[in-house]
Amino acid sequence: MKIAFLADPLASFKTYKDSTYAMMAEAAKRGHAIYAFEQDDMALDGGVVYANVRQITLTAPGPDHAHDWFRAEPAHETPLSDFDAVIQRKDPPFDMEYIYGTYLLELAETQGAKVFNKPAAIRNHNEKLSIAQFSQFTAPTLVTSSEARLRAFHARYGDVILKPLDGMGGAGVFRVTAEGMNLGSIIESLTDNGRRTIMAQRYIPEIVNGDKRILVIGGKPVPFSLARIPQGGEVRGNLAAGGKGVAQPLTARDLEIAEALGPILASRGLLLVGLDVIGDYLTEVNVTSPTCFQEITQQTGFGVAAMFIDAVEQAVQAAKQAVAQA
């Protein structure tokens, strides 16, 4: 197969932990041709969605895990429909440029491109707000820009988490305990004085045991989660915020959540999802570029990237069969 990855600059990859690199390495091992492009490489010209893509060959990663892990051919303009699969791995921020990118990918789908995750599904599933569709698994949650509502929520629960709806890696996450220290200034900052909608959740004490990332591929859960455990007095377990990643088997509750959501999300075109669970509660549904492949594989031996490429191959084959039968 010819597989094109829409990703951030390849030179920024830390290959010892990057999940996109793990996908590429597994695909290359199977003999698939690997291509890469960035969001601003896409264009709609004459009704066709093109991208300036580079075919890449993976080399042994060097000590800096950056420029020396791949060799790239010269870029050439190619319709995205020419590839067997396009893997969307662009990291947030989920801004208007990101949304425009999903529109172009969606147009490419009408021309025959097979995109994973489905761009409309990415656009329709805000990673924070999507948990509201599965409220049976969530802690008390409020979404609003109203200072009065946020203050009332804090008064009701006493210990709360406040966070933006478009953040990643734990950026902009605040805990406000019962005394309400700096509550007003945090609300003003996060909501931009009432102009921006944010999320408040009741604090979940089990965060001390980790914010668990549960990967769901093709509707089925990876059997291990990565518990990202806060360090040094932090409330955030995100690896980007200094959390320590510890792989562990899924609990009965983890399985209950993953098996309930997996088929639903897969049916919407989300081949890869990262569910975030603290204690017994679902806190986020990550659909843009879920990570933790390598940490789980390194600690457990389970081939997460192999499971993912299996799912891509199966989805592509199923799509070809559907076209042939039409």
The catalytic site residues sit at 128, 163, 213, 228, 236, 276, 284, 286
Pull the structure tokens for residue 94: 């989920």
Distance (Å, whole) CA 52 – CA 296: 33
CA distance 326 to 211: 45
**Cα dist from 289 to 15, 271, 314, whole Å:** 15, 11, 20
CA-to-CA distance for 169 and 204, rounded, in angstroms?
18
From 141, 114, 265, 241, select the one nearest 197 (Cα to Cα): 141
Separation CA 190–CA 196 (nearest Å): 7
Instruction: Transcribe 55-80 into DSSP letters.
Output: EEEE----TTSSGGGEEEPPPEEEEG
Region class of 169: left (phi > 0), else alpha (psi between -120 and 50), else beta: left
CB count within 10 Å of CB 205 equals 10
Q: Where are the beta strands (DSSP E) in 218-300?
A: 220-221, 224-229, 244-249, 272-278, 281-286
Q: At 305, which helix (H) or strand (E)?
A: helix 304-325
What residue type is assigned to position 258 of the chain?
Answer: A
Contact in structure between 243 and 234 (CB atoms under 8 Å): yes
- Cα 3 versus chain centre, distance: 19
Question: Which residue, chain included where needed, has tokens 């932090």?
Answer: 234
